[in-house]
Chains A and B, each alone.
Chain A
Amino acid sequence: MRPYLAIIVDSFREALSSRVLWILLALITVLLLALLPLGWQRPLTYRLGPGDIRRMSEFQQTLAKGETRVAKTPTKHIWDKLPEGLQSKLKQADSNRSLQLELANELTSLLEQDDFFDAEYWKNVNLEDEAAKLRDQGVSQLNEEQRRLFHRLVLAAAYPRFIRQTPSQSVLPTYLGYDIGFPFPLTDSQLEEAVDAFVAVFMYGLVGVIGLLVAILVTSFIIPNTFDSGSLYLLLSKPISRPFLYLAKFIGGCTFVFLNAAYLILGLWLLMGLRHGIWNHRVLLCIPLYVFIFAIYYSVSGLAGLIWRNTVVCIAVTVVMWAICWAIGTAKGIVDLWVVMPNQVVQVMEDQDQVFASTNSGTVFRRDQQGEWNEVFANVDSGPAPPFVNTRIGTIYDSVNRRMVMVQNNWSSPSLWVATSEDDWTGISKGNAPSGVQGLLNDADGRVILITRNEISRLVDQFEPENKLVEALQWLPLPNMNQMTQAIPLSPKPDRISTAAFDSDNQRILIWDGKTLSTYEQQDANYRLATEKNWSPDETDIVLAAGHGHAILATEQGQVAVLQTDTLELVTEHTYPDDQPRFAKASPNGDYGAVLFHSGRLVVLDLKTGTPALSSIVPRQHNVTAIEFNDQQQLVMVRTGKRIETYDLGNKSRIEADSLPYSVGENVARFGLDPVYKIFPKPGKVQDTISYVLTGKKTARIDDRGGLQAVQIEVDPWEPIWHGAVFIAVMLTVSSLYIYRQDF
Chain B
Amino acid sequence: MRPVNDVRYHQIRMEAMNVEAVGNVIEVKKLCKSFRGRIFGKPIHALKSVDLEVGRGEIFGLLGPNGAGKTTLIKVLLGVIQRSEGTASLLGLPAGDRRSRRKVGYLPEQLKLPVHQTATTALNFYGQLSGMSGQEMRKKRDEILSLVGLLGRQHESVKRFSKGMQQRLGLAQAIQHDPELLILDEPTDGLDPVGRSQIRTILKTLRDQGRTVFLNSHILQEVELVCDRVAILGSGELKFVGRIDELTPEQHASALIVTEGEQTLPDETTARFTGLQLRKEGTTFHWNLPIQEQSTVDHFVDELRKSHHSILSIRRQKKTLEDAFLDLIATDAEVL
Contact = CB atoms under 8 A, between A and B. Distances in A.
B81 A744 contact: yes
Contacts of A10: 114, 125
Nearest to B134: A2
A16 interface: yes
Interface in A227-267: 228-231, 233-241
Contact of B81 (A231, A238, A743): A743
Given A6-B129, A237-B106, A743-B35, A230 B112 contact: yes
Given A13-B121, A237-B106, A231 B128 contact: no
B116 A240 contact: no
- Interface of A: prevailing SS: helix
B110 interface: yes
Q: Which 5 A-B pairs have the closest CB atoms?
A: A230-B112, A17-B116, A6-B128, A743-B81, A238-B129
B80 A233 contact: yes
Interface stretch (B10-18, B96-104, B139-147): B96-104
A13 B121 CA distance: 10
B130 interface: yes
A225 interface: yes
Contacts of B130: 238-239
A14 interface: yes
Nearest to A3: B129
Contacts of A236: 78-80
A562 B200 CA distance: 93
Given A2-B131, A238-B101, 4 more contacts: A233-B106, A234-B107, A237-B80, A237-B101
A454 interface: no
Interface in A66-109: none
26 contacts: A2-B133, A3-B131, A10-B125, A16-B116, A231-B114, A233-B75, A233-B78, A233-B108, A234-B126, A237-B78, A237-B79, A237-B80, A237-B101, A237-B104, A237-B106, A238-B129, A239-B99, A239-B102, A239-B129, A239-B130, A239-B131, A240-B98, A241-B98, A741-B82, A743-B80, A743-B81
A235 B117 CA distance: 15
B203 to A, nearest CB: 18
Given A6-B125, A238-B130, A239-B98, A231 B80 contact: no
Contacts of A235: 129
B106 A234 contact: yes
Given A14-B116, A236-B78, A240-B98, A230 B128 contact: no
A2 B101 CA distance: 16
Nearest to B128: A6
A225 B78 CA distance: 21
B135 to A, nearest CB: 12
Interface of A: 2-3, 5-7, 10, 13-14, 16-18, 225, 228-231, 233-241, 741, 743-744
Interface in B245-302: none
Contacts of B82: 741, 743
Contact of A228 (B112, B121, B128): B112
Interface string B182-211: 010000000000000000000000000000
A16 to B, nearest CB: 7
Interface string B155-193: 000000000000000100100000000010000000000
A233 to B, nearest CB: 4
Contacts of A6: 124-125, 128-129
Given A13-B121, A239-B102, A241-B98, A231 B113 contact: yes
Contacts of B80: 233, 236-237, 743-744
B108 A240 contact: no
A188 to B, nearest CB: 52
Contacts of B126: 234, 238
A234 B116 contact: no
A14 B116 CA distance: 6
B269 to A, nearest CB: 61
B115 interface: yes
Contacts of A17: 115-116
B326 interface: no
Contacts of A234: 106-108, 111, 126, 170, 173
Interface in B66-85: 75, 78-82
Contacts of A238: 101, 126, 129-130
A18 B117 CA distance: 11
Nearest to A230: B112
Given A3-B128, A238-B129, A239-B130, A18 B116 contact: yes
A39 to B, nearest CB: 42
A236 B104 CA distance: 12
Contacts of B78: 233, 236-237
B235 to A, nearest CB: 20
Contacts of A239: 98-99, 101-102, 129-131
Interface centre among A16, A228, A240, by most chain B C-beta atoms within 10 angstroms, is A240
B110 to A, nearest CB: 6
A10 B81 CA distance: 25
Contacts of B170: 234
A5 to B, nearest CB: 8
A480 B199 CA distance: 108
Contacts of A3: 128-129, 131
Contact of B128 (A2, A16, A744): A2
A577 to B, nearest CB: 51
A235 B126 CA distance: 8
Contacts of B106: 233-234, 237
B129 A240 contact: yes
Contacts of B110: 229-230
Contacts of B75: 233, 743-744
A6 B131 CA distance: 10
Contacts of B101: 237-239
A311 to B, nearest CB: 15
Nearest to B97: A239
Nearest to A241: B98
Given A236-B78, A238-B101, A240-B98, A14 B114 contact: yes
A17 B114 CA distance: 10
- Name which of A7, A17, A237 has the most chain B CB atoms within 10 A of its CB: A237
Q: Which of B79, B98, B116, B130 has the most CB of A within 10 A?
A: B116
A609 B130 CA distance: 70
Nearest to B35: A743
A564 B101 CA distance: 79
B244 to A, nearest CB: 28
A7 B104 CA distance: 20
Residue of B124, B129, B173 with most chain A CB atoms under a 10 A cut-off: B129
Interface string B206-231: 00000000000000000000000000
Nearest to A741: B82
B249 to A, nearest CB: 37
Nearest to A228: B112
Which has the most chain A C-beta neighbours within 10 Å: B128, B130, B131? B128
Contacts of B108: 230, 233-234, 237
B292 to A, nearest CB: 50
A216 B3 CA distance: 58
A49 to B, nearest CB: 57
